[in-house]
Amino acid sequence: MKKSPDYTIRIRPNTEQTRPRAQAPTVRRPPKIKLNTSPVAVVQAEAEPASMPDIPEISIEEIETIGFNPKSKSLFARKKWTGYTFKPPRNMFRLSAVAGGAVAIGLLLGYVVLQTFAAEEPPPAGEKAPFALGQTQQNEQKGAGGQTPAGQGAQGQALNSAVSGQTVPGVPSPVTTPKTNPLTITLPVVPLYMVQGGVFSTKAGAQQEQAVFQEKGWPTHMEEDAGKHTLFLGVSASRDDALALAQAYRASKQEVYIKEKSLPAGTLTLSVPETLPRGTAEEIKQFGRLQADLFQTVSLAIGGGFKEGKVPQAVLDKMLTQHREALQRGRSVTTVLDERSKALLQNALNEMTTAVTTLQQFASQPNRTYLWQAEENMLQFISSYKQWQQAITR
């Protein structure tokens, strides 16, 4: 580069005279400067322009706008095609699982129904015709050499095993009815002396009077015969015991009557298994006689309680012994009865057991309330026992 010329600065001298200080203050003024205004040549160095990096072309693509979609928008709403692949909603997998489970359950239920209807019913009990028929067909299909055709060997073996009584895996065995033997029970006559409280032409009138007796703590039992409704307030096995019970009612200003009835004697024939032990069969035969004896002993204990205010120890011991024997034979009888007869007999045994237990409490603590309760149980015992006899003789 070339050097610039030197500058020349010239200062004009101050020709102004100096004034005395007393006359005027000295004022200091800046000097005047005269600049050289001659042109100056400036030489600039040539510089190579810096290389600029290549800038790639930028293409602006269309940007998809995203709008706000409410949550309740239907999955099956029609969407505008934008050129992009449709993305499934978040709950699509859950819906697919539910639909798949429903289809699987439907297929399973259909399979079970088909298997149920396609299953063969077993032959009825005691029917041996299919086995005999299968045996005959097998014999007819055998060849001259005594061999069974192909495909019939397994079936023939199963049929032969069923006929011979042997069991074959996978083949249901026929249901056989166990053999039974007849067993006869003798029921002796049981005399009954009923304490009658009234006879009514309508059931509503009888129920109204029955409620009055129950409020007083008295036993009641209603029977219907020939359109008449009779209220009974007690029962005994002897007339003397019935009179003692009637005297207790008359002392309470209640008019009663004694009506004589009985449980008739008879015989019952039961079908018992052939394998029933002989000792159990003998117990069943003695059931009727033991029940009649126990009824008389309990009636005697109740009558003694009303007449003497206590139960003799000998009568109490006899009652307990007979009760144990009657229960043992009663359980043996219930094993050979049908459901209805068994329920009636079980009710009768329960009522008798309650009466015996109540009399035991009266023996330790004499109170007529126990006697009224025992008399109520005796009325229910006679009713259930009579229904059992009627059901088993049909």
pLDDT at residue number 348: 92
pLDDT at 101 over 50: yes
In-domain check, residue 177: no
Range of the domain at 339: 187-392
% of the chain at pLDDT higher than 70: 60
pLDDT at residue number 372: 93
pLDDT at residue number 176: 67
Q: Are 203 and 188 in contact (CB under 8 A)?
A: no
Q: What is the mean pLDDT of residues 95-110?
A: 78
The DSSP secondary-structure symbol of 76 reads T
Q: Residue 223 belongs to what H/E stretch?
A: strand 221-225
Tell me how far apart the alpha carbons of residues 293 and 185 are, in angstroms, rounded to a whole number: 16
Tokens of 359: 């009399």
pLDDT at residue number 27: 56
Q: Which residue has the tokens 């449980």?
A: 263
Dihedral pair phi/psi, residue 309, rounded to 5°: 80, 15
Q: Are 336 and 183 in contact (CB under 8 A)?
A: yes
Q: What is the mean pLDDT of residues 329-333?
A: 87
Least confident span in 58-72, 251-265, 330-344: 58-72
pLDDT at residue number 140: 46
Q: Are 256 and 249 in contact (CB under 8 A)?
A: yes
Tokens of 361: 């409490």
pLDDT at 335 over 90: no
In-domain check, residue 73: no
In-domain check, residue 338: yes
Tell me how far apart the alpha carbons of residues 363 and 344 are, in angstroms, rounded to a whole number: 29
Write the pLDDT tens digit of every residue in 32-74. Answer: 656 556 665 554 545 455 455 555 555 545 545 555 455 555 5
pLDDT at 135 over 50: no
pLDDT at residue number 305: 92
| Burial status of residue 291 (CB atoms within 10 A of its CB: 0-12, 13-18, 19 or more) | buried
Confidence of residue 144 (pLDDT cuts 50, 70, 90): very low
Q: What is the mean pLDDT of residues 297-325?
A: 92
Q: Are 263 and 389 in contact (CB under 8 A)?
A: yes
Distances (CA, A) of 293 to 112, 271, 360: 60, 25, 18
Q: Which of 218, 169, 171 is nearest to 197 (CA)?
A: 218
pLDDT at residue number 109: 78
Least confident span in 11-15, 310-314, 356-360: 11-15
Domain count along the chain: 1
pLDDT at 125 over 80: no
In-domain check, residue 143: no
| Burial status of residue 57 (CB atoms within 10 A of its CB: 0-12, 13-18, 19 or more) | exposed
Distances (CA, A) of 318 to 104, 148, 314, 315, 348: 72, 74, 6, 5, 20
SS3 37: coil
Confidence of residue 136 (pLDDT cuts 50, 70, 90): very low
Q: What is the mean pLDDT of residues 80-86?
A: 55
pLDDT at residue number 280: 82
In-domain check, residue 101: no
pLDDT at 163 over 50: no
CATH assignment at residue 212: 1.20.1420
pLDDT at 287 over 70: yes
pLDDT at 137 over 50: no
Q: Are 162 and 174 in contact (CB under 8 A)?
A: yes
Tell me how far apart the alpha carbons of residues 214 and 105 are, in angstroms, rounded to a whole number: 61
Instruction: Report the residue count for the chain.
Output: 394
Confidence of residue 314 (pLDDT cuts 50, 70, 90): very high
Least confident span in 2-6, 236-240, 247-251: 2-6
More confident residue, 104 or 229: 229
Q: What is the mean pLDDT of residues 235-249?
A: 92
Instruction: Give the strand pairing for 266-273 and 180-187.
Output: antiparallel
Average pLDDT across the chain, whole number: 74
More confident residue, 268 or 174: 268
Q: What is the mean pLDDT of residues 174-200?
A: 84
Confidence of residue 148 (pLDDT cuts 50, 70, 90): very low
Within 8 A by CB and 6+ apart from 72, the residues are none
% of the chain at pLDDT higher than 90: 32
The sign of the torsion formed by the CA atoms of 89, 94, 100, 106 equals negative
In-domain check, residue 294: yes
